[in-house]
Amino acid sequence: MPSVFAFLVSLALAGAPAKSSFNTVTLTSADGHVLSASLGLPKAAKYGVVLVHQGGRNKEDWLSIADKLYGDGVAVIAVDLRGHGASAPLAQSPPTPADYAAMVGDVRAAIDRLEAEKITRLAVVGAELGANLVINAALDESAVVIVAMLSPGLDYKGVITSDAVKRYGPRTLLLVAAADDTYGAKSAAILDGSAQGQHEFRLLEAGGRGMKMLSAEPALEGWLVGWIGTHWSTGESAPTKAVPVISTTPISTTAPAVTPTPQ
């Protein structure tokens, strides 16, 4: 007969929360700035996603999407940009233009970490400021085959996207914006018009800017995860899921006549 102690231990283990699939890791940007990131590595993962938050937010914004990607067998890293979340603070506040430019290197540090884990094909996903950072970070990273930009801007805090989208070349690009975010919607339309490779622009009828769209349109989160899973553009077997339907307005790839004012 099992002892009372063994019985109590079994009850405690049964009631214990499941161990998180993500670990907190430390990254170092090219200029030496120390960053905090959450890393999830499914066994034998070949595909990886880097998640970059918008200005003033942190990596925890991506927890739900990160869990879904991990469940599909995709490696995931969500990084706190310098001066955000648990990453080392900036020398001064608010951030300077040089600080924002250096954040491109923060994204590259996250890309490098997944490559060090033998992940051979990567997607980088960013919201608002993060969207501008990821397209610039992807330029010289041949492992990046997908860039997804939520509420991008032509110019956020001096981080410019128009030339970067052209230089990104024939790789896959996704742009998502909401019609009630005038700057993001107009910027996304212009960037869509200059994209060189496979590209898609989804305009939500409403939803605000950046991560707010995920709350305003509950199906968007699953749609984004499914979209990434079906766009690795490789002959290898890739994790895929059905892409849910999201409500969008008709999209034109013709750029608006008026260039939006930088944010």
- 3-state SS, residue 106: helix
pLDDT of residue 12: 46
Cis preceding linkage at 94, omega within 30 = yes
Per-residue model confidence as pLDDT tens digits over 181-230:
999 999 999 999 999 999 999 999 999 999 999 999 989 999 999 999 99
The amino acid sitting at 171 is: R
Per CATH, domain 18-229 is 3.40.50.170: no
11 band by pLDDT with thresholds 50, 70 and 90: very low
pTM value is 0.85
93 band by pLDDT with thresholds 50, 70 and 90: confident
- 3-state SS, residue 253: coil
Rg of the chain on CA atoms, in Å: 19
pLDDT of residue 256: 36
Average pLDDT over residues 246-253: 46
Rounded to the nearest integer, the mean pLDDT of the chain is 87
Q: Rounded to whole angstroms, how far apart are CA atoms 241 and 244? A: 9
* Contact by Cβ (8 Å): 149, 126: yes
